Amino acid sequence: MTVAHEVPAIPAPVSSEPLVASLASGMRLVPARVGRPGHVQTIHIECPTWCTQNHVEDWQYDIEDIEHAGASFSVQVPTMAGDEALYEWYGRVSSDPWSSDLRMREAHVLVGDCSREDARLTPDMTDELADKVIAYGLQLRAAARVARQASQGGTAAV
């Protein structure tokens, strides 16, 4: 009697590196942590190259809660009456890849004032706002000239 022997399958080598298919231009594969406390796991996600968020340290309960955020920038408005700024505007590039609103999935600019809901702007809206802020800055500079001259005993027209 002849007995056929099966040759055991050789397991594939184990790698700690994630398998990378083809990533879209401007994307990279990064680790992210998701899950409930005690059941957190590390996965790998596509992340835009402009995203500065650490998806491991800023872990989320669900993958759907992962958002991308670029470096934040801000401007503060000081006051003569105190040491703290009265107002602050901040902005950053943002995207929410799991949003039900398709516009939020695209890269957009988030602008906020630390007190209300953030404004989310398309690139074109951001360009328009930047033009208005530049014009406002020129008006501020002109007002400073008037105030400076008036403080020194002169007069100036705006």
pLDDT confidence of 30, banded at 50, 70, 90? very high
CA 75, 81, 84, 88 torsion: positive or negative?
Answer: negative
Q: For residue range 76-86, what is the model confidence (pLDDT) as tens digits?
A: 999 998 888 88
pLDDT of residue 19: 54
pTM of the model: 0.76
What is the average per-residue pLDDT within 46-52?
Answer: 97
The yes-or-no verdict on residue 10 having pLDDT over 80 is no
More confident residue, 9 or 60: 60
